[in-house]
Structure 1
Amino acid sequence: MKLILSLLTGLFLFFQGGDLETLRNAYSKANSSNEGAKNFIEIADKKSSSDPIITGYKAAADILEAKVTTEKNKRKSFVKSGATSLESVIKANPNNVELRLIRMSVQENIPKIVGYNKNLKEDKTFILSNYSKQNSALKTYVRKFAMQSKTMTAAEKNSLK
């Protein structure tokens, strides 16, 4: 019985990890074009999980929806609902590097006039100080993000080994 339970748990975790990798890959391409954004939004919309990281990506998808929507009067509501959701999940999980990375990337790329950019320095400091404690997959993802980040300096980017 324990063996069966262990196998089922292993399979579940394996497929959950695949979901996360799919989200990460789509998110890393989301800001490069409207098609990339639409693809990420579509993938995120299909995910239903109570996992805080997936919730964070779903919140980022809501915010990105404002970029690709043709209904100008809905842009503000997409940003507001996504930002509220992202802040809520970060408040519940303040020590999660990936959630901080999501917020930092959103705040770097959202127009300054929106006013959602107050956590850039805080998130950068948190990511840099907790980077060494992360698993190798997340370290690779953080490094990839850092290389294109507007907030991180060259020295900070080089410190992520």
Structure 2
Amino acid sequence: MKIIVLFIFLKSFSAFSEDKFQHYRKNLALAPTNKEVCFLMIKDLENKPSDAKILGYLGAFTMIKANHQINPIQKLSSFNSGKKLLEKAIQQNSRDVELRYIRYAIQLSIPKFLGYNAELATDKKMMHNYLATSETALQADIKELLKVK
């Protein structure tokens, strides 16, 4: 019995460690309409050791933070700060499909007048090309996002 419990525990732990960013992807969809989730994700990511993916998600949530601000100057400042972080992350790891997923999702959902939509076709192509090599949960999220447009 103990062996079965241990096996189940290890299996669930390996599934969690396999895709530790699924939590952020799910909250990426909630953050535009949920201020609390958005700010909680920013706070959480700011306290993580920084790598390209963490930086990319921090950039995305910082851009989304603009939805929850009233002052137009603060909105634009949040958006631009987040955009810089996301672009820096992609520069650090340009072959990371998840970073391209994040940028594609952001560019697809923001107003065109912000002028941040030049990489839609490039990111979409990369997601198609590297879909099979992505983690299973990310594959499902990419497939769902690609249905949108």
- TM-score band, normalised by shorter chain: 0.7 to 0.9
What secondary structure, in the 3-state scheme, does the structure 2 residue paired with 1:50 have?
coil
Query: What is aligned with 1:44?
Result: 42
Aligned length: 137
4+ long deviations beyond 6 Å:
12-15
Compared with structure 1, are the counterparts of its residues 111 and 38 closer, same or farther at alpha carbon in structure 2 (3 Å cutoff)?
Answer: farther
1:13 Cα deviation after fit: 7.8
Q: Is 1:99 the counterpart of 2:99 in the alignment?
A: yes
Code of the residue aligned with 2:144 in structure 1: it is: K
Structure 1 residues 19 and 69 mapped into 2: Cα distance closer, same or farther (>3 Å)?
Answer: farther
Between the two structures, name the one with larger relative contact order (CA 8 Å, sep ≥ 6). Answer: 2
Report the aligned-residue RMSD.
2.4
Counterparts of residues 78-93 of structure 1 (less than 5 Å): 78-93=78-93
Aligned residue identity for 2:146: A
Which moved further from structure 2: 61-70 or 15-24? 15-24
Where does residue 30 of structure 1 map in the other structure? 31
CA deviation map 1:87-139 (0-9, x unaligned)? 11101101000000100111111111111111000100111111111121221
Any unmatched runs of 5+ in structure 2? 1-12
Normalized against structure 2, the TM-score is what? 0.80
Consecutive unaligned residues of structure 1, counting only runs of 5 or more, are 1-11, 151-161
Identical counterparts, % of pairs: 27
Shift of 1:22: 1.8
Aligned equivalents of 1:78, 1:106: Cα separation in 2: 14
Q: TM-score scaled to structure 1, two decimals?
A: 0.74
